[in-house]
Structure 1
Amino acid sequence: MNLKTPYPAVDIIIELIDRPDRPIILIERHYEPLGWAIPGGFMDYGETAETTARREAMEEVGLAVELVDLLGIYSDPSRDKRQHTVSLVYIATATGEPKAGDDAKNSAIVPVHQIPSNLCFDHDHILRDYLNYRHYGLRPRIG
């Protein structure tokens, strides 16, 4: 029997609470697929999703984060062309200056009204859900 299972991942929408209007951080990916994305990565075996979120934030942007909420779970099999991934997306807060590291080639502080389109994976969709939640309190629809 050939058993295939999805890869669990975590993405973190990081709001910088020491700046006006709480901008977010995006990273430019160092590896394929190239482009801009929400910081995040794959869970390590034996690691909780919350630990993964904190670790990935530190590795990719050099900031300690406080997890505030779970925005949603994104599981569309086509969301990552490399393989089927399931991502838990957290909203977190941080202070300080992000510094790109690990899989991040660059980082950018982005005002929420200037979020670019054509982000990697399904991150455009995730950030639309985030903006609806942030501005109107609307949770992403299930299914």
Structure 2
Amino acid sequence: MADYIHELRQLVGHRPLILTTAAGALLNAQQEVLLQERTGYNDWCFPGGYMEYGERIVATLKREFKEDAGLAVAPVRLLHIFDGDCFKYPNGDEVQCITHFYLVRQTGGHLLRQQTTETSAVRYFPLTALPPFFNQQSEKMAQAVCDYVNHRSR
């Protein structure tokens, strides 16, 4: 079902779609967060992506993290569910993403070293020096990570 969204777009064109996504925040020992630079956009986001038909949300999280960053991960805790953010891609596709955003831990794999169709680079960033984000939802995710780290350190 890897072409699920492509098939939908063939039927509805650029009309708005409500899509479910999963993304994760991986912190290293220095409390830096791993981000993905999106191919063709020159901005950053958390590894994650769209759920395929019949897939479970944690399976989506694991699959997308592996595709986007090269790492196997396991969810530690659900940080937030984002449900009101709409976005229009440069090609005109409109989406409202219902995103399950997790704190994750690495269980295997190696950081991507080569560019893929979706990832130009992956890199850890200090929470105090984050790069430009892909969209408003990614900015909200970064705030959720900061809130989690700040609350945990109290």
TM-score, normalising length from structure 2?
0.74
Deviation at 1:24, TM superposition (A): 1.5
C-alpha root-mean-square deviation of aligned residues, in Å? 2.3
**Distance (Å, rounded) in 1 between the aligned partners of 2:26 and 2:65:** 8
Q: How many residues align?
A: 130
Gap runs ≥5 in structure 1: 138-143
Deviation at 1:46, TM superposition (A): 0.9
Corresponding position of 1:115: 130
DSSP-derived class of the 1:114 partner: coil
Contact 1:24–1:112 (CA under 8 A) maintained in structure 2: yes
Q: 1:36 aligns with which of 32, 41, 44?
A: 44
Q: Residues 73-110 of structure 1, C-alpha deviation per residue, up to 9 Å, x if partnerless?
A: 111142x2231111110110127742164511111111
DSSP-derived class of the 1:6 partner: strand
Gap runs ≥5 in structure 2: 1-11, 89-93
- Highest CA radius of gyration, 1 or 2? 2
Which has a greater percent of helix?
2
1:77–1:127 CA distance, 2 compared to 1 (3 A): closer
Counterpart of 2:138, as a letter, is: H
Structure 1 vs Structure 2: percent identity of aligned residues? 23
Matched, 1:49 2:57: yes
Deviation at 1:113, TM superposition (A): 2.6
Which has a greater percent of strand?
2
